[in-house]
Chain A
Amino acid sequence: MRFASDTGGTFTDLVVEDDDGRVTMYKASTVPSDPVAGVVAALELAATDRGLSLSTMLARGDVFIHGTTHAINAIITGRTARTALLVTEGHKDILVFREGGRVEPFNHTVPFPKPYVPRALTFEVPERVIYNGDVLKPLDEEVLLNIIAQLKAENVEAVAVCLLWSTINAVHETRIGQLLKQHLPHVPVSLSHAVNPTLREFRRASSAAIDASLKPLMGKYLGSLTDRLKDAGFLGDVMVLTSAGGMMAADYVSDAPIRVINSGPSMAPIAGRYYAALDSFKDRDVIVADTGGTTYDISLVRGGHIPMTRELWIGQPTRGHLVGYPSVDVKSVGAGGGSIARVDSGGLLHVGPMSAGAVPGPVCYSRGGVEPTVTDATVVLGYLDPDFFLGGAMQLDKAAAEKAIKEKVADPLGISVEGAAWTIIELATENMVQAIADITVAQGIDPAQAVLIGGGGAAGLNSTFIARRLGTDTLIIPEMGAALSAAGAMMSDLTAEYATSLFTSTAHFDSEKVNNALFDLRAQCDAFARRAGPKALKTDISITAEARYENQVWDIDMPLDIGRFRSDDDILALRKAFDAAHERIFTVRDETSAVEIVGLRATVKCKLRVGDGLRLDSRNSAADDRKMRKVYFADSGWTDTKLYRLDSMSDGQDIKGPAIIESPFTTIVVDGRGHFRRTASGSIVINP
C-alpha cells in the first residue's frame, strides 16, 4: 500500500494506492502551525473510508511520499538557522550585489533586499583560485582557525562556504569543510561546489547559504514526521518530493535540503505529462496549470521533456532570494480562488494580487472574510453549489458573497451583481492567460498548439475560458486533477541529480575533459542506483548539457545522449542538436557562432512503483443526471444548465455545453460554446 501527500497552503491532499491497484483521494485542511497534523488528518480519512483503524491501515503501508512547503515557509518567515558564510577574501558582498536587475523601476517604496546571510556573519578567507583552477594564493589556515573561533563565539548554527572558482578546483573549500568538521563537529556545513556546481558565484553562494540554513530544521521536521508516522504504526519508507520532480529518502534530505525547496509544485508537470499521454496527446506540448487558493502555478512539458530552471525565486524576482539550484520550471502568480476584487479611485477593476488566502478566506466561507474574491464570484454565478462544496463538507454563504460583490464591485462599476461576478471571473481568467503567455513565450511554446491541463480543485471553474483565450482546442481536467501534485507524487521515481561545472567550446572542444566529466557523472548515478538495490525496477540515467552560443548570457538545457565524444562527428552532432534546440525555443539559429558548454548535469531515476496506470477507484453513486441549475454566462445570461456527476458519467459521449460537472473535489464549468466528453482514462476533455 502506498501513500502520497502534498501539503498546500489551504489543503493537504492525499492519494492512496491499495495493493490491488485501487486508488483513492482525500483532502484535509492544512494546519499551518503543525503541517504533520494535516497529513495525519488526511490519513485518518483514508482509514475511516476503509473501515480500518489508522494503525492497521498504516501497518500495511510500503511507502509514504511527502510533498512539503516547510522549507520555503521557514525562509519566508525567517525561521531558518543562524547561518554564517565564508567567502574568498575581497568578495564579501556577493550576496549583496546579487546579479542586479529590478522590477517596478518607479516603485520607491520597496527597500533593497537584505542579503540572505548578513554581512556581520560573512567572513573573508585569505585564498584565491583562478579560472583554470590554479591556486594564486594558498589558503591561510591560521586566519581560518581564527574565523572558526569567531563562528563558535557567535553561536552559529550552520555554515555555508563559497569560494571563487571552487567548481574548477575545490581544494580550498574541501579543506575548509574538513577544518569546520574538526572544530565545529555539530554544526552543519554546505560547500558551494558540492551543493550547486555552477559557474556563477552568486547563485552558488545563495544555494549554499539557503541549504545550510535549512539543515537543522529540515532534519528536525522530517525526523518528527517519520517518528509520528512510526508511532501511528507505519513501518515503510518515508520519501520526500524534490524540486527536480523526483523523490528522495527522507533520511537524506537534511544532507541537501536545497533539493526539496519546491517539493510539491514540481510534481504537477509529471502528472500532466502522464494524463496528456493517456488521452493520446503525447506529441503535443503540454501546459499544466494548477489553481490554488492564493497562487496559480504554471509548468510545461515540451516535446516530452519538463523544462528546468535555475531561476527559482523565493519571493518576487529580484526582491526575494534566488535558489539557484536546478528545479522544475514552475511559474507562480498571485491569482487564485482567494484573489480579491476591488475597484480603484479611477473606477478600474482589479483582481489580485492581494488574496484573502485560507484565513479569512472568501466571504462565502463565513470565516470573517469581507472582501469579495474569485470564489465568491463563482458562487454568485451558480458555478459552485453552496450545498455541495467539497462534497457538502463545507456550507457556503451565497447571500454574503452577493452582498460583498454588490457593494464592492457592482455598485462602483454601475453594473448588475451577476455582471460584476462575471467580470471578476473574466479578469482573473485574463490574468491567468497572461501568466501562461509569459512562460510559454520564454520557453518557445505556442499555447494554441498545446494541450492545457487544469489541476487544483478550482481549475474547472474557469479553465474552459482560459483555454478558449489561449486558442487551444484541448483542455483536460484529469480525474485526479484536484490533487495533481499528489497524483504526480504517486508516479514519481527515486531520483538523484549530480552536476559538474566545466567550460569548453566547439571552437576548441576538450573531449577529454568532457569525457572524464561524463564518466564521473555516470559513475555517481550508477552508485546511487546500486544503493537503491533490488527495489529499483528500472533505472534511467539522463545527461543534460548547459549550453549557449558564444557570448550569450543565458544558457539552455540540452539533452546529451552521447556517452563519450570520440570524433569530430560527435562534436558536430552536438552543435547541430544545439542549433535545433535553440531554434525550437528562440525561433532562430546561429550556425556561425561556436557553442559553449558551461556545465553538465546528470539525473538518475529509479522506478520503484509496480505498474504504470493510476485510475481513481470509481464508486457508482446513484446520482441524478437530469438535475438542472440556473447558471450565469456572459453570452446567454441566466441559463438552465445540466448537472453531471463526474463519477457516474459514461465514457466517450460527446456532450454540448452548457453543463456543470461535479465531484466531491471539483466543479467543472462548460458554457454553451464548449463540447466535452469523459474519456476512458477518466479525464474530462473539453473542446472550448
Chain B
Amino acid sequence: MTDINLNGAELAILNSRFEGVVRKMANTLLRTGRSGVLNRAKDFSCCIVTKDSDLLAAAESLPIHVLAGPDMMARTMKEYHPDLKRGDAFLHNSPYHGCSHPADLTLLAPVVDDDGVHRFTVVAKAHQADIGNSEPTTYMGNARDLYHEGALIFPAVQVQRDYNDINDIIRMCEIRIRVPGQWRGDYLAMVGAVRIGEREILSIGQEIGWDKLDAFTKQWFDYSESRMTDALKSLPAGSVHGSSTHDPFPGMPPEGVTIKAQVISKPNEGRITVDLTDNVDCLPCGMNLSEACARTAAMIGVFNSVDHSVPKNAGSFRRIDVQLRYGCIAGITPHPFSCSTATTNIADRVANSVQTAIADLGPNAGMAEVGAVIAPSAGVISGVDSRNGKAFVNQVFLAFSGGAASPHTDAWITTAHVGNAGMCCIDGVELDELYHPILVKKRGFVADSEGAGQFIGGPSTIVEFGPLVGDFDIGYGSDGHINAPKGVAGGAHGGAADQFLQHSDGSKTRLDACALVHVKYGETIVAISAGGGGYGDPAMRDPEAVASAVRDGWITSDRATTVYKVVLNTSGQVDNAATAAMRG
C-alpha cells in the first residue's frame, strides 16, 4: 500500500470529495436542526477524522469548534470502545476528554468497511439549547464546579448499535434536558448528518479502494504541512509575549484574569510555538478552558495570521506546537473544574493574545484584538408574553460587532467574537418583535468608536430596547468594558462595552458586567457592544477613506483631524496640502 502515489490532480479530486462529504453533513444538520442556536447562530460543525484520529476535513464553521478536539474525542472513543462496529454511534461532550464544552454535544460514528476494519470517524457537533445544567443556561460562568454546573456528561458513551438508538441513553437525556422535544429534534439532525457522512465515505472507499484512501490521507497531510511550512516561513522570526485581559466576572479575582501567551516564530524551520503555560491555575468558576478549546484558541490566533488558503487539518497542525499546563485555566482543566463557557470568554483572550503577539513580530503580521462578548443586545430574554399568556425564553441576536483589523483590510464588522469569526446570524428587528413582547427603539453604531488605524477595527453597536407590554428579564455577561479591544502596530483600541438601564424619566443606571436584569414597562436596556482593535498608524490611512467615513457619519471631522491627521475642507473633501503638512 505504501507504493501508491497520487499526483496533484488525484489529490485535488479526492480532497474535493471529502470536502463535499462534510458540506453535505453540515447542510443536513443546518436544514434539519430545530433549535435556534443551531440554525440561527450556526453553532455546529461537521468533520471527518482518520482511523488514527487525525482531523482530515471540516466543513466551514465557527473556528472554535473544530481545529482541535475532534481528534481527541475520536481517540477517547477508540480507547473506551476498542471493538468498533458498523452502525455504532457515540455521544461525547466531556471537556475532560476532548470536547470543547458540555453544551457542544457531539455524535461520533466510526466508518467500518465490509471487512470490519475501522477506516474513518465522522463527527457532528452541535451546541444544544440546553444540556441539563442546574440553571437554564448553557453558559454557566458562575458554576463553582461540574456538580454545580450540573450538565449531563458523556465521555464517548455508546448511543447507537446496529443503527438503532440505545433507548436507555435517550431516556436519560429526555429526563434531564429541558425542552426534550427540541433536544430530540437536534439529536435526530445529528444522526442524519453522521449517517450521510458515513454512507458517502463508504461509497468513496468502495469506489477508490481503502488503501488508496490511506495513501491519500498521508499525502494530503504532507501537502497541507508543506503549505503551512511555506506560510510560516513568511512570518518574521522572534519570540514575543502577548496578553489579553478578561474583565472581572463572578468567580474571578477583582482585577480579572490576564491571559499570557508566548509565541516563538521560527520561519527558517517553518514552525511556530505557542506557550500558554504561564497562566493562572483553574478557578472555581465556569470559565476554565477544556484542552480542546485551549489548543484551538491558540491555533485560531496563528491561522488568523497566515495565508487563509492553507488547509486546516492534522498536516498543517504539525507545524504548530501548543504548550499547555495541567491544572491551568488556559490549559488542561482537570475534572471537576467547570468548563461551561470554554468556547467564549477565556478562549477569546487566548486567541487575542496570540494574534496580537504575532503582530509584534514585525510588519504585516498578526491581527488586532477582536472585541469581547456577550452584550445584552445578544442576551437571553425571558418572561411571560402578556399578548398570549405564554412564557418565553430566548437568546436574541440583535447586534454585535467586535471585528478586528488585519494588515490587509478593515475589520469584518459583525465578527461577534474571535472564536465565532462572524458566522452567527443577526436577527431582524421585526422577527424579534413578533416573537417577543419587545420594542427595539434604536439599533445602530456608536460614532468615533472604531479601532482607529491604517486599517480600522469595527465600531461598537448600540441597541436600545425594552418591553412593548409587561416586563421581561434579561441575562448577559459582557466582557470588554474595562479591557477594550486593543489595536496593534500603532493601531488604536476599539470601543468598550457598556450597558445601562434607562428609566422612564430619562435617567440612566449603569449595569454590572454580568447580570440578570428585570426590565419594567417604560424602561429600556441600552446595550453597547465592544468594537474591534485597529491595525497600523491611523495617520497612514487613506485620506479618502477618512473623508468618506466622516460623510457617512462613522466618525466626526474632529476625529479625522486629531486621530487620522486628515484635514477636510468645508465641503467635506480632503484638503491634500493641509493633510500632507499635518502628516509630515
Which A residues form the contact surface with B (CB < 8 A)? 90-93, 96-112, 118-120, 130-131, 136, 164-165, 199-202, 343-350, 412-415, 420, 423-424, 426-427, 430-431, 433-434, 437-438, 441-442, 503, 549, 551-554, 585-588, 590, 592
Residue of A nearest to B410 (CB): A111
Complex contacts, B408 vs chain A, CB 8 Å: 108-109
Complex contacts, B556 vs chain A, CB 8 Å: none
Question: Complex: how many Å from CA A442 to CA B24?
Answer: 9
Question: Complex: how many Å from CA A312 to CA B545?
Answer: 30
B553 touches A119 (CB 8 A): yes
The verdict on A99 contacting B428 (CB below 8 Å), with A90-B441, A106-B421, A431-B16 known, is: yes
* Cβ of B62 under 8 Å from chain A: yes
Residue of A nearest to B399 (CB): A97
B430 touches A120 (CB 8 A): no
A92 touches B19 (CB 8 A): no
* Cβ of B28 under 8 Å from chain A: yes
Complex contacts, B60 vs chain A, CB 8 Å: 103-105
The verdict on A200 contacting B444 (CB below 8 Å), with A427-B9, A427-B12 known, is: no
Complex contacts, A586 vs chain B, CB 8 Å: 31-32
A-B contact count (CB 8 A): 205
Complex contacts, B430 vs chain A, CB 8 Å: 131, 164-165, 199-201
The verdict on A415 contacting B39 (CB below 8 Å), with A109-B406, A434-B16, A587-B192 known, is: no
Taking a contact as CB atoms closer than 8 A, the residue among A90, A415, A585 that contacts B442 in the complex is A90
Complex contacts, A553 vs chain B, CB 8 Å: 36, 39-40, 425
Give chain A nearest CB distance to B22 CB in angstroms.
Answer: 11
* Cβ of B362 under 8 Å from chain A: no
* Cβ of B82 under 8 Å from chain A: no
A346 touches B223 (CB 8 A): yes
Complex contacts, A90 vs chain B, CB 8 Å: 440-444, 464
Give chain A nearest CB distance to B574 CB in angstroms.
Answer: 15
B412 touches A91 (CB 8 A): no
Which B residues form the contact surface with A (CB < 8 A)? 7-13, 15-17, 19-20, 23-24, 27-28, 31-32, 34, 36, 39-40, 42, 60-63, 181, 185, 188-189, 192, 223-224, 226-227, 230, 303-304, 308, 312, 367, 397, 399, 403, 406, 408-416, 421-426, 428-431, 433-435, 439-445, 458, 464, 468, 548, 551-554
The verdict on A91 contacting B27 (CB below 8 Å), with A111-B410, A130-B468, A414-B7 known, is: no
Taking a contact as CB atoms closer than 8 A, the residue among B224, B423, B431 that contacts A199 in the complex is B431
Question: Complex: how many Å from CA A423 to CA B9?
Answer: 6
Complex contacts, B440 vs chain A, CB 8 Å: 90-91
Complex contacts, A442 vs chain B, CB 8 Å: 27, 31
A109 touches B409 (CB 8 A): yes
The verdict on A348 contacting B223 (CB below 8 Å), with A100-B425, A427-B16, A503-B434 known, is: yes
Residue of A nearest to B223 (CB): A346
Question: Complex: how many Å from CA A429 to CA B554?
Answer: 46
Complex contacts, A552 vs chain B, CB 8 Å: 34, 39
B445 touches A93 (CB 8 A): yes
A97 touches B8 (CB 8 A): no
Question: Complex: how many Å from CA A119 to CA B42?
Answer: 29
A101 touches B423 (CB 8 A): yes
Taking a contact as CB atoms closer than 8 A, the residue among A165, A430, A441 that contacts B27 in the complex is A441
Give chain B nearest CB distance to A470 CB in angstroms.
Answer: 12
Question: Complex: how many Å from CA A419 to CA B524?
Answer: 68
B422 touches A102 (CB 8 A): yes
Complex contacts, B17 vs chain A, CB 8 Å: 430, 434
Question: Complex: how many Å from CA A424 to CA B9?
Answer: 8
The verdict on A119 contacting B552 (CB below 8 Å), with A90-B443, A100-B424, A108-B409 known, is: yes
A412 touches B406 (CB 8 A): no
B188 touches A434 (CB 8 A): no
Q: What are 7 A-to-B residue pairs whose CB atoms are below 8 Å?
A: A200-B428, A345-B226, A420-B9, A423-B7, A424-B9, A434-B16, A553-B39
6 tightest A-B CB contacts, nearest first: A423-B9, A105-B421, A100-B426, A108-B406, A90-B442, A102-B422
Complex contacts, B32 vs chain A, CB 8 Å: 586-588
Residue of A nearest to B189 (CB): A588
Residue of A nearest to B61 (CB): A105
Residue of A nearest to B192 (CB): A587
Question: Complex: how many Å from CA A90 to CA B526?
Answer: 13
Question: Complex: how many Å from CA A257 to CA B363?
Answer: 48
Question: Complex: how many Å from CA A202 to CA B414?
Answer: 15
B439 touches A130 (CB 8 A): yes
Complex contacts, A93 vs chain B, CB 8 Å: 443-445
Question: Complex: how many Å from CA A350 to CA B11?
Answer: 10
Question: Complex: how many Å from CA A112 to CA B468?
Answer: 33
Residue of B nearest to A554 (CB): B39
Give chain B nearest CB distance to A554 CB in angstroms.
Answer: 7
Give chain B nearest CB distance to A439 CB in angstroms.
Answer: 10
Question: Complex: how many Å from CA A426 to CA B10?
Answer: 9
Complex contacts, A437 vs chain B, CB 8 Å: 20, 23-24
Give chain A nearest CB distance to B33 CB in angstroms.
Answer: 10
Give chain B nearest CB distance to A548 CB in angstroms.
Answer: 11
